[in-house]
Each structure stands twice: as C-alpha cells, then as structure tokens.
Amino acid sequence: MQAQASAVNLAEAEPAWTDPVAEIDRLGAALLELEYALIPNGLHVLGEVPDAAARTEMLDFAGVTEPGERRRLDELLSTDHELPGIIHALDGGFIRPAPGGDLLRTTKVLPTGRNLHGFDPFHLPSRFAVQDGARQADRLLARHAADGGGLPETVAMVLWGTDNLKSEGGPIAQALWLMGVEPQFDSYGRLAGATLVPLETLGRPRVDVVITLSGIFRDLLPLQTKLLAEAALLAASAEEPAERNFIRKHALAFLAEHGGTMDQAALRVFGNADGAYGANVNSLVASGTWNDEDELADAYVSRKGFAYGVSGRPERQSAVLSQVLATVEVTYQNLDSIELGVTTVDHYFDTLGGITRAVRRARGGAAAAVYIGDQTRGDGAVRTLSEQVNLETRTRALNPKWYEGLLKHGYEGVREIEAHVSNTLGWSATTEEVSPWVYQELAQTYVLDEEMRARIAALNPKASAKIVNRLIEATDRNYWSPDPATLDALRAAGEALEDQLEGVEMAA
C-alpha cells in the first residue's frame, strides 16, 4: 500500500509506515478530497449556454433538490441572458445589479448577464459574515496549532475586493476576529466603527494581523479599510497584558525602538499607493529577469508598503511594515470560487507569495507557514499552500477532464495550461512550497508525452515553448532536480519548439 501510494506521490516511499492504520485513514481522506474536488470545465464562452448534462451537474453541486425549483433554474441556465445584457448596456440601458460569484454558493446569481454586484457598503461585513468569519479564523488557528505551530503572534492576510463582496465581507470579519474585534452597527444597522471583544470572551490572546489590500479592495471598500485600521489601533491601545495582546506587544516594541505615536505604531493595513495595483512580483516572475528571491520581497515591499490608517490616506511606512513582518508566523488568503485556484491566475502568488517572501527576508530566512482558506463549498477548509498546489495540480493540470476541456478552446486553452505551469513556478519562487513531483508530472504530461506535446504545439507553439522553458527554469532555480535523461528530453523539446516557432513566425 505504501509503495502504491508513493508511486502516485501520495506518500513517501520510506521510512516504512510505523502506524499503517493511521496512514491508510489519511490516504482515504486524501483520495476523497481529490474525488470531491470540483473543477472548471473549459472556459466560458459568452452567449453559449451549458448543455443539459453540464446543467444537471451544476444544479446537483448547488444542492438543488426541489423539482420545481430545479426546473426554474434549469430554464434560467439554458437561456442566454449575457449577450442581450451586454447589448442592452451598450445601448445605454439599465442592467439590474445581482449577487455575483459561484452558483454553488447561491443560486441567486441566476440569470447571469446582470451587473455583478449590488452591495451596501454600510452593511459589510454582514451579521452572517461576522459569525462565519470567526469560525473560519478559529479554523485557521486550529490548523496551525495542529501543525505544531502553536498560536501565531502575527498573521499576514491578503484581502481582495471581489471576495469580500461575494461573501458579504467574510475575510474582513476573519481579520477582525483574529484581533478580537467586532464591527459595531448603529440603530439603523449601519456600520459604525469597531469594538473590542473582551479577552475572557475571546478565550485566547489577540493575534496581530498585518493586512495587504488589493487595489480593488481599496477602491471599493474605503469604509472597511478604515474599520480595519481602527480595529488595529483599538487593540494596540487596550490596556491589556502584552502576552495576551500581540498587537499591543508589537506596537509597544515599535514605540520603544523608534519613538513616535501609537497611531503610527498600530498601522496594520497596507496596500498600494493611490491609483496603483498589484505587487509587481508577478511581472518579475513572468519576465524571469530576477536573480535572487529577495528581489521579489523588494518588489512587494516597494509596491505594497503604503499604510492606510484611520484617516484613510496612504503613506509609505517602511519601518512599521518591516517590524511587523518580522513577527509574522502565518500568511493566509481565502479562495472563494472554484473557477479560480491559486495556480489559475498570477495574482495569488503576486501578493500572498510576495508577502510570504517579504516575511522570510524580514525574519532572516525563517519561513512563515502559508495557508489557504478554501471557502468555495460547505463549511470551508484550511490547507497549507503546498497541499493546495498539490490538489490543484492533481485535479486540474494532470486531470484529462480539465485539460481536455481547455484544449477544446485551442490556442487559449494551451495558454491557460501554460499559466498554471508559470504560476506554479511563481509559488516556488515566493514560498519554496511546491513539491518537486509537481514539476516532474507536469513535464511528463505536457512535454515528455510526445503525442500531447505535438497536440499543444500545433495549437499554440508559443505557449508550449513557454511551458518547456518554465520547467527548465524550475530546474535552473533548483525548485526541482530531475534526472539527466529528463532534463535532456526537456532541452531537446525546448529546442524543437523554438525551431517550430521560428518556422511559424517566418511563414507568417
């Protein structure tokens, strides 16, 4: 059993299991997770409705059981509302706002083709998000404790705008609960600042939280940006013992070292300068023009080093940021849709990877644990980044259901596969948490398998060459050390693809 499991990279080949029963239990759970993973089937084509089988599958996964309701939703799914919606909008017509996000979360997203979000900024986070955010934050802490990490003094959290809109502010509420803070609402139910949860109620110390906002979050949620800043200041100012309030502990340490005011020492909400987006870690990785991983940390700090205090105005605050980064033990971001995984787009490693690298540098090389809060279904689950990359690799990149769905789209499908490979390299560069077998199996599936290599090369030679070059880059950067025969085969494939590309370009 151990040999079989290790052949598919689900266990180490040795040493021999000392507790086979526990290991088999663990394997069973790992297999179930793979079996139940939902994966996107190809790309969405505007104006094309899903066929009957796909509709049935979607409604099954959404948990629709009442036949009338099913029929109603099936009707909505089988009629195109998107092209008419766009045409209406282009004609200057009004498009009603509607909830966005996965059908799996709420069938209220149907029909699609409406304005993605109607939200009331005064009611975010919602009451449900506050309760669920506390549960999810506790789940993160429990997982880190189970991994032997104890209670972290500081968690670095990435907040996105769209995620918070789709979940009524779930991730915002998680950040607040880690600090032991709750939002307050006035008699009209409108957001009115933050209040401390008493330590006795919280039952643990207040965890320090350094927050990285996406540019979109900053643009969409100024009230919540201030709420988070106010939460950190409130916690830092509370007259509580430092060992039960890590925000205060770190703020006092900053004041002792640098002087200044509590307003400055308690800055915990960071993002871009006004008008700027992203950490540029993704562009560096895309260009391949970096030598040392610390350059990625530099990019992150230089782009995302602007603090948003209770005034809401961004200001570069390098000293506070580097002091708090040096205390981070956990970095964390939520996933809110099965459409996008951490290896689907480059934005996840750009910011979560970027801050993880910046933490490692601030801690003199000691790595923080990186977790993903999977909020896509059910009660949610916390995975290490490594587990998440493994899961996405197995259920997507190595899964014929996923890649055949993409290859139907031809050129763009191969580009999506290339993106998965490049983003995987981005995670190695920023976190070093990608297992070498991931690269080996990607190489096997897309390059060493000659039939597949010929197929993707015919559809998109440029992206195919990039896949090969990324795999070679991963060996150059020591994220993976294949045997010499594999490396030779990769190099030969790379050269053949480059030749083909030149031929293609000359002919064009």
Applying CB under 6 A, which residues contact ligand BEZ?
Answer: 160-162, 214, 216-217, 347
| Ramachandran quadrant class, 101 (left: phi over 0; alpha: psi -120 to 50; beta: rest) | left
The residue among 348 and 439 lying less far from ligand BEZ, judged by its C-beta, is 348
Distance of closest approach, residue 347 Cβ to ligand BEZ, in angstroms: 4
**Inter-CA distances, 153 with 141, 179, 207, 324, 407, Å:** 11, 10, 5, 10, 46
* Helix/strand/coil (H/E/C) assignment for every residue in 282-321: HHHHHHCCCCCCHHHHHHHHHHHCEEECCCCCEEECHHHH
Scanning 349-399, the segments in alpha helix (DSSP H) are: 354-362, 385-392
Helix (H) or strand (E) holding 497: helix 484-507
Strand duo 208-213 + 269-271: pairing: parallel
The answer to whether 137 and 330 have CB atoms below 8 angstroms apart is: no
The answer to whether 172 and 161 have CB atoms below 8 angstroms apart is: no
Across the beta sheet with 369-374, the strand order is 314-316, 306-308, 269-271, 208-213, 154-159, 328-335, 369-374, 381-384
Distance of closest approach, residue 441 Cβ to ligand BEZ, in angstroms: 27
The gap from C-alpha 70 to its chain's centroid, in whole angstroms, comes to 32
Strand duo 328-335 + 154-159: pairing: parallel
Q: How many CB atoms lie within 10 A of CB 7?
A: 10
45: its two tokens: 């084509």
Amino acid at 116: L
The residue among 189 and 312 lying less far from ligand BEZ, judged by its C-beta, is 312
In 3-state terms the chain splits into helix, strand, coil percentages (rounded to 5) of 55, 10, 35
